Amino acid sequence: MSAYQSDEEQVEALKKWWNENGKASVAGVVLGLGGIVGWQAWTQHQTSIAEQTSAQYQQFSMAINAGNKESAAKQAELLISKQGKSVYAQFAALNMARQHLEQGDAVAAQNQLSWVIENSSEPAIKQIARLRLARIKLSEGDAAGAAKLANESPKASFAGEFAQLRGDIALANNDKEMARKLYQQALDNKVGSAGLVQMELDDLAVAAIN
């Protein structure tokens, strides 16, 4: 993700500055040039931060892949506390949620995913976190909490996955007819786990016959 303005945006910013300050004194022009130098220094600083954050995430990924849970947790905590608005921190939180869940700590996993939903400005990342959080809630018996998250989701984003989720919620509420409709909707929207959804549909069909 780029934190920098495009060349065109910088040109437009300079044009606007000139239109607003064209009658300023030479001293004002000098200050303006100083501002440009300051902008360049700021962009260099931002580049340095981005590189450091990327390196920290690489260390986190290496720790995850090596199974070094303690080191991974420290790296994730550092990313989240120092660069919480970056996608690196949010991916680290998603990964830590999975780690917590694998260790049987559903509460910690939910806390990480809730943090991502609250702090990410990237719609896709928020949707992934919302899906995972809803599935944990459903597995923990909180169908109402899962449904609330599903209903908060934009309809066009991850449509197949959320249709499957809503189907699972309907099935948990023993609404088999609605589950069938939602599973079919998931297939129609190219859900990633199409094989699993088809199996769920087939099971419902068998149950209806019996």
Instruction: Name the CA dihedral angle for 201, 182, 175, 208, rounded to a multiple of 10 degrees.
Output: -30
Structure tokens at 31: 């200050």
3-state secondary structure 48-87: HHHHHHHHHHHHHHHHHHHCCHHHHHHHHHHHHHHCCCCH
Task: Please give the CATH superfamily to which domain 28-140 belongs.
Answer: Tetratricopeptide repeat domain (1.25.40.10)
Q: Enumerate the domain spans of the chain.
A: 28-140, 158-210
Give the largest CA-CA distance in the chain: 89
Q: What is the pLDDT of residue 6?
A: 42
Kindly report each contact of residues 45-48 with a partner whose C-beta sits within 8 Å and lies 24 or more positions away, as own/partner: 46/3, 46/4, 47/4
- Placement of tokens 């869940």 in the chain: 101
Per residue of the chain (210 residues), what is the pLDDT tens digit? 332 334 444 444 444 444 544 444 444 544 454 554 443 443 554 455 566 777 778 887 888 788 888 888 888 888 888 887 888 888 889 989 988 998 899 999 999 999 999 998 888 888 999 999 999 999 999 999 999 999 988 777 788 999 999 999 999 999 999 999 999 999 999 988 889 999 998 888 877 776
DSSP string, 171-190: HHTT-HHHHHHHHHHHHHTT
User: Rounded to whole angstroms, how far apart are CA atoms 201 and 42?
Assistant: 56
Whole-prediction pTM:
0.71
Cα dihedral sign, 128-129-132-134: negative
Q: How far is CA 28 from the centre of its chain?
A: 44
User: Rounded to whole angstroms, how far apart are CA atoms 2 and 141?
Assistant: 41
